[in-house]
Chain A
Amino acid sequence: MRRISLGTALIFAGLLAFIVAAIGADVFASNDPLRQSLLLRLRPPGTATATAYFPLGTDDLGRDLLARILYGARASLMVAALSVSVSLLVGVTLGLMAGWFGGWVSIVAMRAVDTMLSIPAILLAVLTVAVLGPGFFNLVLVLGLTRWPRYTRVAYAQTLQVAALPYVRAAEMAGCGPGRILLRHVLPNIAGPLMVVATSEFGLMILFEASLSFLGLGIQPPYPSWGSIMSAGRQYVVRAWWLTAFPGACLFGVVLCVNLFGDWLRDRVDPRSQGR
């Protein structure tokens, strides 16, 4: 095992901090993220009243920005994590089956992949939200179901390689069923590259939710996500910079950390990029 560098440690620490903040939102937020005070709109960071303190200021309905960012972290990270899980489940299942069975299974699966990839993801998402209606679970479903083909491609290519390995052949000879072989022998071997895809997708999903919020189809009001806080706050980018700067910095931090983590993971998984 190589030792983990300082930079990598920082990335891990950063990610961990955001996850802790999201989980512990109830503990860290001193104010209710939904509580409005219309007479305290757009107050700058550090505003204090007789009854409350707003370390990061208030939004355009007089709600505590810190509390909203903390609860927003929860929504943004949950949406990303769950939608990545949905895509992984669908994409990997199809990819494993296509790679193992080949023939018409692979033809159908890979044509479906082509089809899905050639529809611009954002348009597909907007259309599907129009049909299903918005809301947390629909959002997860829509994001998950538009992004699975990337996993299928990787899982398929990897399964083809792994399936040819002697010990997999041996397991097949020994009479193991395809389900068992795929789960016990193939999946663990291809998990690395899949994780690499999943990490970069995780960052993309956070941004994707933000885009949908910008188009008015993200997390339902009044609940916050980073994307919805920012798209509501961009109107005030000059007058109340804190409304976009703080959630923007958080979003930037998380996506950057996730991407750097993805790069790190890729270097460990993909021997080509390690140099020889």
Chain B
Amino acid sequence: MNITTLNGILPILILTGVGLLVLLVEAFIERDRERRFAFILSLAGIIATLVSLFSQLVHHDADLLLFGGALIVDHTGLAFSIIICLGALLVLILSHRHVTRIHRNAGEFYSLILFATLGMHALTISNDMMTFFVSLEVMSVAVYILAGVNRKSLKSNESALKYLILGAFSTAFLLLGIAFVYGATGQMGFMEIKEALLSEANAPFQSVGILGLILIMVGFIFKIGAFPFQQWVPDVYEGAPSIVTAFMATCVKTAAFAILLRGLFTFFQADESGFLMSALTVITVLTMIFGNFMALIQSNIKRLIAYSGIAHTGYILLAILAALSDPAKPDITPILFYLLVYTLMTVGAFAVLIGASRGGEEVETFEDIRGLGYKHKLLGLFMAFFFFSLAGIPSTAGFMGKFFIFKAAISKELYALAVIGILTAVVSVYYYLKIVVYLYLKEENRRYEKYSIQWNYLLASFLTFLLVLFLGIFPQFGFKLLK
């Protein structure tokens, strides 16, 4: 174990260590102090992780293979991890005062977030079937628990259960896929598998291997919430506590995309029939259409965000398709950029939703936000801004993200896809703007008393606001970072 290895797995070590520490804190320190202590610890942990990630990104130029090829620390993986940790950080800040309303022991909550982040990070840098599987499960199980962390809420329970059952179900298929791939190649490492699949000697088991790959893809598609495996998304997002939904919608999705990307680019050449491309194309189109259209008729904002998240997944898939057209040198900057922007926008939107809910009532439906813009001007402003960005109104980061994706699609001649993407994006403007309109509808909901907004909400909202604005104007900065 030399210093390079240590450096490479530093984020993992930090997250594990701090996660465990927080659990201990929760066990040994009494309630009030515990919450604050746990919070500070978790915050420190995430920040330390971010620092480590950044330093690795800046210092290393070559890819770092660790543990005999089980982990690969490269720029792509680090970039994804940074986005994830950023999202986790924001969610943490957001959750500070709010946690005890949904769960008695704040420490458990924080440690779960840390462990989930751990799984996600490991996922982005995994290079081997086994590491990938374990990381995936670490992340997923933590998130299953998080979804149901509010034990008193029926919806939360239901959400957790559905997520777990369906998640495990799709994991089973994933495992089957791994089994077949292993059976076909005898390898577990991604690189080795690719070589084995391509080599002539393996011919009889070729189709078995490809079959396995398809099943593995099924697992991925489930996790990112794309058609036709997206059914869990609306229910789970709606039922889980808002903070957790924010976490799921952003970080889990990003991590899933990270591993999807790595898998795709490693195995893509093994597929000679072009099946993968066409299957992905169909999936992308259906996802974009389904997500946007279903969102139109929702009256619950969380559910709406869930469906719109499905739509965004579709856009990212489009970006992936564009990158795939050039497998030798894939340009994944639109993907990374969009994920970053999407994370910020979504967390921001949730931050405002959470900030607006007080007195134990969660803000969920259109009726709940009616007139909010008048009672709390700043909140209304932020919310409108985030939804504008989600809708892709020009001069926001959301617009830039979509712009780059469509530009990439067009430059790779995926004209039909781009057109469908743009059309569905137009549809999305309707339901996003509907929210903004409701914000400023005259009749005020009586439930709002004037209250002072807590600093953490404000901080989180403001930070994301600034970043979104900034990125909207200077997308190049984002690009330089993510190269």
Are A and B bound to each other? no
Q: Which residues of B contact A (CB under 8 A)?
A: none
